[in-house]
Amino acid sequence: MSKNDCCTCGAANAMQAFKGRSFNVNFKQLNRVVHGLDGHECTECAEIEFDAPSAELYAQAGDELVEDAKRVMAEEMKRIRRKLHFTQKNAVQLLSGGGHNAFSRYERAEVEPPKPLFVLMRLLDRHPELVRELQAINECADINALLVQKQQQREN
Ligand SMILES: [Zn+2]
């Protein structure tokens, strides 16, 4: 097997050099472009093999994207919570449940917020008037009414 054979599909002499190309790095729905990458591409299966310095650059860009994304999510959690005039404790009681320090951990980027919570926060950012609904939702009168129905069905 020669150096220019593809080690993914095995095609002989199929790896062609490229220089200064741009590639996307992705994290969830977020992405960022890395420019100036050198390497080889298989003409048969399109497998990419970066040269060592470019591989390093690409990996570093990926790590930075993850780091920046976590930081931005944490900052958004904090900004939106403050905009809604919640303490971290209120936010846990009304929105997330779980440990009393959950929001503090999200806002320090110690853990990522669960996706449904992050979506909810962003919805409330766009529609802060919905905060009024939270108290009633948490009192669960509607769910309790459904439970009474269930009980009545069982007794009939
Ligand atoms: Zn190939």
Q: What is the mean pLDDT of residues 138-148?
A: 92
Residue 59 included in any domain: no
Ligand 1 center to residue 39 CA distance, Å?
14
SS (H, E, C) 55-101: HHHHHHHHHHHHHHHHHHHHHHHHHHHHHCCCCHHHHHHHHHCCCCC
Residue 107 lies in domain: 69-155
Ligand 1 center to residue 41 CA distance, Å?
8
> What pLDDT is recorded for position 51?
96
Query: Residue 89 maps to which CATH number?
Result: 1.10.260.40
> What pLDDT is recorded for position 98?
78
Residue 64 included in any domain: no
Give the chain's mean pLDDT: 94
User: Token pair for residue 37?
Assistant: 């990458």
15 & 87 share domain: no
The rounded distance, in Å, linking the Cα atoms of 94 and 90 is 6
How would residue 1 be classed by pLDDT, with cut points 50, 70 and 90? Answer: low
Neighbours of ion ligand 1 (CB under 5 A): 6, 8-9, 11, 42, 44-45, 47
pLDDT in tens, 6-39: 999 999 999 999 999 999 999 988 899 999 999 9
Ligand 1 center to residue 5 CA distance, Å?
8
Ligand 1 center to residue 45 CA distance, Å?
4
Ligand 1 center to residue 40 CA distance, Å?
10
Ligand 1 center to residue 44 CA distance, Å?
5
75 Rama sector, left if φ>0, alpha if ψ -120 to 50, beta otherwise? alpha
pLDDT in tens, 102-129: 999 999 999 999 999 999 999 999 999 9
Residue 39 included in any domain: yes
> What pLDDT is recorded for position 29?
85
pLDDT in tens, 61-116: 999 999 999 999 999 999 999 999 999 999 999 998 878 899 999 999 999 999 99
Ligand 1 center to residue 12 CA distance, Å?
9
77 & 25 share domain: no
The rounded distance, in Å, linking the Cα atoms of 117 and 67 is 20
> What pLDDT is recorded for position 33?
96
Domains: count for the chain: 2
Ligand 1 center to residue 8 CA distance, Å?
5
pLDDT value at 136 more than 80: yes
37 & 77 share domain: no
150 & 81 share domain: yes
Ligand 1 center to residue 55 CA distance, Å?
18
95 & 151 share domain: yes
111 & 83 share domain: yes
Q: Which amino acid is at 31?
A: N
Residue 58 included in any domain: no
